[in-house]
C-alpha cells in the first residue's frame, strides 16, 4: 500500500512539472506615439508640441513597457491599446534579446488620433493561423471613426484558439451619454463571439454523421477576450460579454480592486474574459488566475494616495508608465 501511495505521488508530481503556466496579458500603455508627424492627428505628441515629446521620452516609454512585460514573465500573448501604429509596437521588441521571439499583429484603425490596438505573441510557442480587424460605425455617425476590434487565431500543438483585443469608445461627454457607443461596440464584439460558436458547432456536426444540434448544446469556441472597455463590470455593455464568457479580472484580482484611478476612485476598465471551454483541459486557463498588477515601479504616491504613475499630467512630463495598470491571466500548457 505504501509503495502505491509513493507511486501515485510521483505521478502527480510529474504531471505538475509537465504542465507549464504561461501568462496572457493586456496593457493600456497610455499614448504610445513615435516622434514623427504622421497622417493621423498626432500634434499633441511631437517635439514641437507643448508636451515636447521627443526621442528620449519615446525611448524611455518603450523601456518602461519592456520592464512591465519582463515583470509579467514575458507573456505568451499581450494585447495593447493606445498604440499609434505598427512601428511603435515593433519598436518594443526590435533588437531586444529578451523579446526576439515575439511577432506583432496590428491593423491601422480609423481613430482620428490614430491610437490602435495590437498584440505581441510568442512566435516560437504559437502559430498564427489568421488575423483581421472588425470595423464598425457608431450610432449617429455615417462612417467608422472608432478603434477596430482586432482578432487573431492561434494554434498550440493540436489546440486552436482566438484572441480578441478591444478598446471601446471613451466616456467623453459623460458615462451615461456615451454609453450607447459602448453598447454598439459590445453588440459587434458579442456578434463575432456568437458567429465563432456557431461555426464551431457546424464544423462538429459536419464531422459527426447523423448528429443533431442538440448534441452540441453548450459547445463553445476557445476565445480569450482582452481590452479596455471604458466601462466597469456592472455596466450594461460588459454584461453582454459576461453572458458568453467568463470574467477573469474582478475586484479580488489585486489590492487596488481596480485598474484605473479617476476622481479619487478605483475602477475596473481593463478586462479579460475567457470561454468556458478554456477552463478545462490540457490547454486551459487556470481558475482564479486573473491579476491586476501593482508592481512598485508602476505606482506612485500623490497627495497621500497611491495611484498609477502616468507618463504625463496634462502637459507636465512625469516619466511614468501609464494611467492604467496591466492585467493578466495564466494559461496551462502541456
8 pLDDT higher than 60: no
**Among 238, 244, 233, 241, CA closest to 276:** 244
18 pLDDT higher than 70: no
Q: Which residues 6+ apart lie within 8 Å of 209 measured at CB?
A: none
169 pLDDT higher than 50: yes
Alpha helices in the chain (DSSP H): 2-18, 55-71, 86-93, 175-207, 236-242
Q: What pLDDT does 202 receive?
A: 86
Per-residue pLDDT band at 216 (split at 50, 70, 90): confident
CA-to-CA distance for 241 and 166, rounded, in angstroms?
A: 12
Residue labelled with grid coordinates 510557442: 125
Q: What pLDDT does 4 receive?
A: 52
Cell of 275: 470561454
Q: Where are the domains of the chain?
A: 20-333
Phi and psi at residue 49, to the nearest 5°: -75, 170
Q: What pLDDT does 203 receive?
A: 87
Domain over 20-333 is classified CATH 3.60.10.10: yes
2 pLDDT higher than 70: no
How large is the average pLDDT for residues 120-143?
Answer: 97
Q: Provide the whole-model pTM.
A: 0.93
DSSP symbol at 148: P
Cell of 101: 521571439
CA 121 to chain CA centroid, nearest Å: 12
Reduced to 3 states, what is the DSSP secondary structure of residue 260? strand
CA-to-CA distance for 330 and 334, rounded, in angstroms?
A: 13
Of the two residues 212 and 226, the one the predictor is more confident about is 226
Pairing relationship of beta strands 20-32 and 102-106 according to DSSP bridges: unpaired
Per-residue pLDDT band at 244 (split at 50, 70, 90): very high
CA-to-CA distance for 310 and 18, rounded, in angstroms?
A: 40
Q: What pLDDT does 16 receive?
A: 47
CA-to-CA distance for 247 and 62, rounded, in angstroms?
A: 29
Q: What pLDDT does 309 receive?
A: 97
Q: What pLDDT does 3 receive?
A: 56
Cell of 164: 480578441
Amino acid at each position: 500500500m505504501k509503495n502505491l501511495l509513493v507511486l501515485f505521488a510521483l505521478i502527480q508530481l510529474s504531471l505538475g512539472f509537465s504542465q507549464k503556466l504561461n501568462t496572457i496579458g493586456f496593457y493600456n500603455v497610455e499614448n504610445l506615439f513615435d516622434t514623427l508627424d504622421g497622417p493621423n492627428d498626432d500634434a499633441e505628441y511631437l517635439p514641437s508640441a507643448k508636451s515636447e515629446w521627443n526621442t528620449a521620452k519615446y525611448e524611455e516609454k518603450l523601456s518602461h513597457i519592456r520592464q512591465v512585460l519582463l515583470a509579467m514573465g514575458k507573456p505568451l500573448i499581450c494585447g495593447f491599446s493606445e498604440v499609434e501604429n505598427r512601428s511603435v509596437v515593433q519598436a518594443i521588441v526590435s533588437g531586444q534579446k529578451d523579446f526576439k521571439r515575439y511577432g506583432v499583429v496590428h491593423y491601422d484603425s480609423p481613430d482620428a488620433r490614430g491610437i490602435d490596438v495590437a498584440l505581441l505573441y510568442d512566435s516560437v510557442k504559437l502559430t498564427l493561423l489568421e488575423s483581421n480587424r472588425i470595423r464598425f460605425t457608431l450610432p449617429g455617425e455615417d462612417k467608422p471613426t472608432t478603434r477596430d476590434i482586432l482578432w487573431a487565431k492561434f494554434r498550440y500543438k493540436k489546440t486552436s484558439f482566438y484572441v480578441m483585443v478591444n478598446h471601446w469608445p471613451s466616456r467623453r461627454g459623460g458615462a451615461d451619454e456615451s454609453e450607447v457607443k459602448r453598447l454598439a461596440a459590445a453588440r459587434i464584439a458579442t456578434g463575432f463571439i456568437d458567429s465563432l460558436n456557431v461555426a464551431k458547432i457546424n464544423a462538429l456536426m459536419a464531422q459527426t454523421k447523423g448528429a443533431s444540434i442538440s448534441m452540441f448544446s453548450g459547445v463553445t469556441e476557445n476565445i480569450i477576450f482582452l481590452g479596455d472597455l471604458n466601462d466597469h463590470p456592472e455596466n450594461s455593455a460588459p454584461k453582454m460579454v459576461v453572458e458568453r464568457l467568463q470574467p477573469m479580472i474582478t475586484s479580488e484580482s489585486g489590492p487596488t480592486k481596480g485598474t484605473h484611478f479617476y476622481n479619487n476612485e478605483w475602477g475596473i476598465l481593463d478586462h479579460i474574459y475567457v470561454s468556458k471551454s478554456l477552463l478545462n483541459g490540457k490547454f486551459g486557463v487556470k481558475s482564479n488566475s486573473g491579476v491586476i498588477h501593482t508592481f512598485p515601479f508602476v505606482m506612485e504616491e500623490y497627495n497621500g494616495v497611491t495611484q498609477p504613475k502616468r507618463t504625463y499630467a496634462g502637459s507636465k512630463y512625469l516619466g511614468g508608465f501609464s494611467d492604467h495598470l496591466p492585467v493578466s491571466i495564466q494559461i496551462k500548457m502541456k
